[in-house]
Amino acid sequence: MDHQESSHEQDATRLSLSTHHEPEPRSNAQSRIATSGDMAIAAIKYRFARLVITTITLLLFVFGTPYLVQQIQYSLEYGKIKARYDAASVHLSSGTSASVSQRSELVSNKVTPSVVHIHTAAFDMEARTNRRVLPDSNLFPSRGQGSGIVVSPDGYILTNRHVIEDSSLVYVHLADQSRHSAEIIGVDIETDLALIKINKENLIPIEWAPREAVQVGSMVWAMGSPFGLEQSITLGIISATHRTAKVGTLYQDFLQTDAAVNPGNSGGPLVNEDGQLIGVNTAIVGDAYQGISFAVPGYVAKSISDQIEKNGRVSRGWLGLSLANPTTETLALHQLELTEGQASRGAQVTDFAPSYSPGYAAGIEINDVIIEFNGLAVTSTTQFIQAIGRTPGGEEARITLRRLVGNESQEILIKLTLGERPSE
């Protein structure tokens, strides 16, 4: 019996050993739990990333589509304008004669890409004080408008100073109707010109006309935004040149035209029959067009534009002289005769500036009659002042004058360095 019981106990022990499993190592269990957790986190991250991508895609579609459509429209419009510009440029340069109607269409197509509409806003503190109803009301922006001329492919635009004067914000509308904010590079009070810049490349700049292209009686076209009507064009002729005293300063050597120019045309181009810039529309007589308008000549505008682009300001030569047109008796003493059509000749020195006079320092004397400046014949005091003003301060100059020595008139050449005209 004892032997049988012992045998049964051994069998039970073997059965127990064969059915019993050793517990799994703890590290393996934790590894499986960690792996499951990582997969769950990865799944959450994946779903979140898909949600973010989907949301961004929807936002881009909702908000980006109008922008892309707008840019495509600008590109298409620019392409049309550029095609018309190229065709007009080829036709005008070929010298083929055309009717006034055809010529006007060609000029318009050539000049349109270079003409812009300028919109400004200035926050008027006085208006705010006078018009404020609520204590926390905002500043009321006073808004203005005008025209401008693209003068370089990289965004420089020429306009009138009074168009952007005292402006807090300046916006430019191009011919393709795209809108850009502009930076004011510099202004010139004497000629009422200003240079601004937009962040835009590959623009089509205006073509400058040679100085001799401006003749009284020549046909001209004025373009701009009269009363906000963008890309308007009118036709006229050059009525006169060298208009100054009644409408501006001595440095405003205006062209007079009968092309219709109204408020909003300021800063726009006056062009010849080849679509070349001969002037910048600047002033009219009265509050609205009455058959007389004035433009800063292109050669003056180009000099001002170049100086502002290079230096941010305009430097004008300075001699520190008081001048007057010589009388007939004075001209006779110096054996100076007036040619047919001349009203005056030369510029007579009457005094010197009280502070400093480069002319006096170089040896110019009172009663000298200046007859040439840098090889250019001096026809009047105004013309001489303009010639000096177009020469930057610090440059070398040559002055030819007549001086009475005893009873004899002698011609004297004086070389000097121009000073810079003091700012007022």
Which domain-ending residue is among 198, 232, 260? 198
Return the higher-pLDDT residue of 168 and 19: 168
- Using a pLDDT cut of 70, give the percent of the chain over it: 80
Q: Over 90: is that where the pLDDT of 147 sits? A: yes
Question: Strands, DSSP E only, in 72-152?
Answer: 115-123, 141-150
CA distance 356 to 342: 33
pTM: 0.72
Amino acid letter for position 144? G
CA distance 171 to 66: 21
Regarding whether 401 and 327 lie in a shared domain, the answer is: yes
The CATH code of the domain that includes 345 is 2.30.42.10
Q: Over 70: is that where the pLDDT of 208 sits? A: yes
What lies within 8 Å, CB to CB, of 309 at 6+ separation is 152, 156, 185, 195
Q: Which of 31-45, 50-64, 214-228 is least confident?
A: 31-45
CA distance 282 to 270: 10
In contact, 237 and 218? CB cutoff 8 Å = yes
Q: Which of 14-28, 41-55, 285-299 is least confident?
A: 14-28
Say how many domains are in the chain.
3
- Verify whether residue 242 is a known catalytic residue: no
Q: What is the pLDDT of residue 85?
A: 81
State the average pLDDT for the chain.
82
Q: Of the candidates 254, 264, 214, 257, which has an alpha carbon nearest to the alpha carbon of residue 236? A: 257
Give the model's confidence band at 16: pLDDT under 50 very low, under 70 low, under 90 confident, else very high.
very low
Regarding whether 416 and 321 lie in a shared domain, the answer is: yes
Regarding whether 357 and 297 lie in a shared domain, the answer is: no
Regarding whether 139 and 180 lie in a shared domain, the answer is: yes
- Verify whether residue 266 is a known catalytic residue: yes
402 within a domain of the structure (yes/no)? yes
140 within a domain of the structure (yes/no)? yes
In contact, 342 and 379? CB cutoff 8 Å = yes
CA distance 204 to 206: 7
C-alpha distances (whole Å) from 97 to each of 94, 101, 274 are: 9, 12, 11
Query: Of 192, 253, 258, 368, which is the active-site residue?
Result: 192
Q: What is the pLDDT of residue 58?
A: 77
Regarding whether 250 and 177 lie in a shared domain, the answer is: no
Which domain-ending residue is among 311, 346, 380? 311
Question: Given CA atoms 232, 236, 237, 239 in this order, what sign does their dihedral have?
Answer: negative
Return the higher-pLDDT residue of 43 and 150: 150
Structure tokens at 304: 């001002």
253 within a domain of the structure (yes/no)? yes
Return the higher-pLDDT residue of 101 and 302: 302
- Using a pLDDT cut of 90, give the percent of the chain over it: 47
Query: Of 117, 119, 162, 173, which is the active-site residue?
Result: 162
101 within a domain of the structure (yes/no)? no
Domain that holds residue 301: 210-311
In contact, 338 and 371? CB cutoff 8 Å = no
CA distance 400 to 371: 6
393 within a domain of the structure (yes/no)? yes
Return the higher-pLDDT residue of 99 and 377: 377
Give the model's confidence band at 390: pLDDT under 50 very low, under 70 low, under 90 confident, else very high.
confident
In contact, 253 and 133? CB cutoff 8 Å = no
Query: Of 114, 266, 293, 357, which is the active-site residue?
Result: 266
39 within a domain of the structure (yes/no)? no
4 within a domain of the structure (yes/no)? no
Q: Of the candidates 107, 108, 138, which has an alpha carbon nearest to the alpha carbon of residue 121? A: 138
In contact, 93 and 137? CB cutoff 8 Å = no
Structure tokens at 356: 């400093």
pLDDT digits (tens, 9 = 90+) for 210-240: 988 888 999 999 999 998 889 899 999 999 9
The CATH code of the domain that includes 132 is 2.40.10.10
Q: What is the DSSP letter of 285?
A: S
DSSP string computed for 135-156: TTPPPPEEEEEEEEEE-STTSE
What lies within 8 Å, CB to CB, of 176 at 6+ separation is 74, 75, 77, 78, 81
Burial environment of residue 290 by CB neighbours within 10 A (0 to 12, 13 to 18, 19 or more)? exposed
CA distance 28 to 26: 6
Q: Of the candidates 384, 359, 363, which has an alpha carbon nearest to the alpha carbon of residue 374? A: 384
CA distance 283 to 261: 8
Which domain-ending residue is among 148, 168, 198? 198
Q: Of the candidates 156, 115, 155, 109, which has an alpha carbon nearest to the alpha carbon of residue 308? A: 156
100 within a domain of the structure (yes/no)? no
pLDDT digits (tens, 9 = 90+) for 104-134: 999 999 999 999 999 988 765 454 344 333 3
What lies within 8 Å, CB to CB, of 285 at 6+ separation is 247, 292, 293
